[in-house]
Amino acid sequence: MTYQIVLDTNVLIAGLRSRRGASFELLSRLGGEAFEINVSVPLVLEYAAVAREHARELGLTHADVDDVLNYLCAVGHRRQIFYLWRPFLPDPQDDMVLEVAVEAGCEMIITFNLRDFVGVEQFGLRAITPGRFLALLDR
């Protein structure tokens, strides 16, 4: 089974920050057969803005960030959002993640901020941490 997922921005940044965590492992498995990520233009723009803001502390150049984003776009399924579910979650940036997940028919949103995604079950989704998702994959 190939899971359809959306990565919250905090997972991307955590994976770029350290090579030792579940987020990095998840990013390392991108392009494999176990799961596929889904993105939208607004979500990629958010990834870009946050990654560029933290590039120096991550030890990356803007060109490095662009390479990562280009790869995400190459392996991700690009989704156009035709219906906005806003406001549903407290943070509008989280609504953007939810909208991609709903449009793509995803099973899960991968995030560290589980509390921010309370209620997504109404859309047939689960919010799950990178570590728990990897454990699910490795069963």
pLDDT at 89: 86
Beta strands 35-39 and 108-110, pairing class = unpaired
> CB–CB of 95/112 below 8 Å?
no
Which amino acid belongs to residue 19? R
- Tokens 């958010």 correspond to 46
**What pLDDT digit, counting tens, does each position of 25-82 carry?**
999 999 999 999 999 999 999 999 999 999 999 999 999 999 999 999 999 999 998 7
Q: What is the pTM of this model?
A: 0.94
Answer whether CATH 3.30.420.40 is correct for domain 3-137.
Answer: no
Q: How far is C-alpha 93 from the chain's CA centre? A: 12
Checking if the pLDDT of 84 tops 70, the result is no
Checking if the pLDDT of 131 tops 80, the result is yes
Query: What is the average pLDDT across 115-122?
Result: 94
pLDDT at 120: 95
Checking if the pLDDT of 85 tops 70, the result is no
